[in-house]
Amino acid sequence: MKLVVDLQDKSYSIHIKPNALQSLGEILCENNLTTELFVITDENVKALYGEKVLTILRKAGLKPTMFSVPAGESSKSLQMADFLYSKLIENRATRKSTILALGGGVVGDLAGFVAATFMRGVKFVQIPTTLLSQVDSSVGGKVGVNHRLGKNLIGAFYQPAFVLIDPDVLQTLPYRERQAGMAEVIKYGFIRDAEFFEVLNNNIPALLNLVDGEMIESVLARCCSIKADVVGKDERETGLRAILNFGHTIGHALEALTSYGIFLHGEAILHGMRGAVHLSLLENKMTRDEAAISLGLIDKLNPPPIPKSISVEDVLYAMTNDKKRTTEGQLWVLLREIGDAELVRHVNEVNVREAIRYVLDYPVN
Ligand code: GLY
């Protein structure tokens, strides 16, 4: 299946199909990306798919070079970008080189950032290998690294030449990561598609256990097509694109308060979505029935416990450091109903506190 992200001269395709990795050489050739290929990956993905990808590229007559970085968020740094610039220079990369990002969100963001900045920008390709990166971070061109004072503070909008999604690689993804990645999947149902929400609500165990390849493929495609549509309308997040941050206001605060060490990103977002649903109810946007159905789906993904030491004040304080906040205040993504999101700046503070309390009381409330 092929989808298009429509961004005029920056438009690109998302290829989704079983065993898609085998087509990598062919698609690179179709896109005239055949000279000086540099694959950037991490140690874990290299062990699983490094040799396979190199062999596929060599069989297509290409001459790839691979660099790997340690797995984990700490690699998303300017230091690691500098290490990769050195590797590229030592290996005689030029402005005609292409960078292939093979891995999850960290690799995609880091390699994309290096591609955006090396020699004022070289072509790059996203080959996401986690559920989260397949449905979210590989599409839309947000690339960047973290700063010691905050996550994702250094970066660019820089679109890939194409995205290649192979659902088969999810087989080697740990269950916990599939569960956390599913948070970003259900997000699309909440914000844009009530029918998709229903499909997900009826099939979570089958999806998490990857029992039906066709269903997985169609779920990945639905997520990517919603993301492509939103990004096509608002690439630089001047408005609409912010709906993709449903659940992220409280979610980011929980990640920061736990020093990014307890929750996987999607797990924090599950809590954030619980808060956003409850706030939508308190703000009289959503009905009690719809809120209950919404929370039912989120809870199927087992959000992990939140440390009891975190207070409502802590969350409010951490939210003020979020980069989505402007002088006009905190931006919330609330729901009018399942499938219909709204961006809201002015929310009653008593309700915000109550929604955070509700999140922190999990699982007893
Ligand atoms: N992950 C949200 C976005 O790409 O805008």
Residue 365: inside a domain, yes or no?
A: no
User: Pick the catalytic residue: 76, 123, 177, 184?
Assistant: 184
Which residue has the least CA distance to atom 2 on ligand 1? 244
Ligand 1 atom index nearest CA of 241: 5
Q: How far is the CA of 140 from the centre of ligand 1 (A)?
A: 7
222, part of any domain: yes
CA distance 299 to 278: 13
* Residues facing residue 3 across a β-bridge: 14
The yes-or-no answer on residue 308 being catalytic is no
On whether both 161 and 206 belong to a single domain, the answer is: no
Q: Catalytic annotation on 252? A: yes
pLDDT, tens digit, 9 for 90 and up, residues 286-299: 999 999 999 999 99
Residue 151 CA, ligand 1 centroid: distance in Å: 14
Same-domain check for residues 138 and 259: no
Give the range of the structural domain holding residue 78, as residue numbers without chain letter: 2-172
Ligand 1 pocket residue status of 248, Cβ below 6 Å: no
Strand (E) or helix (H) holding 152: strand 150-157
What is the reported pLDDT for 9? Answer: 93
Report whether 334 contacts 344 (CB < 8 A): yes
pLDDT at position 162, please? 98
Length of the chain: 365
Q: Is residue 205 predicted with pLDDT exceeding 70?
A: yes
Indicate which CATH number applies to the domain containing 85: 3.40.50.1970
| Number of CB atoms found within 10 A of residue 12's CB | 20
Whether 167 and 189 map to the same domain: the answer is no
241, two tokens: 């694109």
Residue among 265, 274, 278, 285 flagged as catalytic: 265
Residue 206 lies in a domain: yes
Phi/psi for 291 (5° steps) reads: -65, -40
Is the per-residue pLDDT at 160 higher than 80?
yes
- CA–CA gap between residue 152 and residue 147 (Å, rounded): 7
Predicted confidence at residue 149, as pLDDT, reads 81
- Atom nearest to 231 CA in ligand 1: 5
The pLDDT value given to residue 191: 98
Contact in structure between 69 and 75 (CB atoms under 8 Å): yes
Which of 245, 255, 271, 285 is an active site residue? Answer: 245
Q: Does pLDDT of 339 surpass 90? A: yes
- The reply to whether 142 belongs to the active site is yes
Domain boundary residue among 172, 203, 226?
172
Q: Which of 148, 172, 196 is the last residue of a domain?
A: 172
pLDDT of residue 35: 86
Are 303 and 316 within one domain? yes
Where does the pLDDT of residue 146 fall: very low under 50, low under 70, confident under 90, or very high at 90 and above?
A: very high
Do 258 and 337 lie in a common domain? yes
The band of 329, judged by pLDDT with boundaries at 50, 70 and 90, is confident
| pLDDT number for residue 324 | 65
Q: What is the mean pLDDT of residues 159-184?
A: 97
Task: Give the Å distance between the CA of 227 and the centre of ligand 1.
Answer: 8
CATH code at position 287: 1.20.1090.10
Higher per-residue pLDDT: 330 or 52: 52
| Residue 306, helix vs strand vs coil | coil
136 with 239, same domain: the answer is: no
Contacts of 153 (CB under 8 A, 6+ apart): 144, 146, 147, 323
Does ligand 1 lie within 6 Å of residue 291's CB atom? no
What is the Å distance from ligand 1's center to 11 Cα? 17
What whole-number distance in Å separates Cα of residue 7 and Cα of residue 168? 28
Q: For residue 328, is pLDDT > 90?
A: no
209-231 confidence digits (pLDDT tens): 999 999 999 999 999 999 999 99
Across the chain, what does the average pLDDT equal?
A: 95
Tell me, yes or no, whether 168 lies in a domain.
Answer: yes
Q: What is the mean pLDDT of residues 233-242?
A: 95
Categorize the per-residue pLDDT at 161 as very low, low, confident or very high, splitting at 50, 70 and 90: very high
Domain count, the chain: 2
Return the pLDDT at 255: 93
Q: Domain check: are 127 and 237 in the same one?
A: no
Tokens 């960290």 belong to residue: 106
Torsion angle (degrees, nearest 10) of CA 123, 217, 72, 144: 40
Residue 248 known to be catalytic:
yes
* pLDDT at 326 > cutoff 80: no
Q: Does 181 share its domain with 166?
A: no
pTM: 0.95
* Index of the ligand 1 atom closest to the CA of residue 139: 4
**Whether residue 261 is found in the same domain as residue 345:** yes
DSSP 2-68: EEEE--GGG-EEEEE-TTGGGGHHHHHHHTT--SSEEEEEEHHHIIIIIHHHHHHHHHTT--EEEEE
Judge if 323 and 230 occupy the same domain: yes
Segment 188-216 shows an average pLDDT of: 97
pLDDT exceeds 70 at position 27: yes
37 — pLDDT class (breaks 50, 70, 90)? very high
Whether 310 is covered by a domain: the verdict is yes
**Pair 39, 98 in one domain:** yes
Quick: pLDDT tens for 90-132: 999 999 999 999 999 999 999 999 999 999 999 999 999 999 9
Evaluate whether residue 105 is within a structural domain. Answer: yes
* 260 and 355 co-located in one domain: yes
Chosen domain end from 172, 189, 221: 172
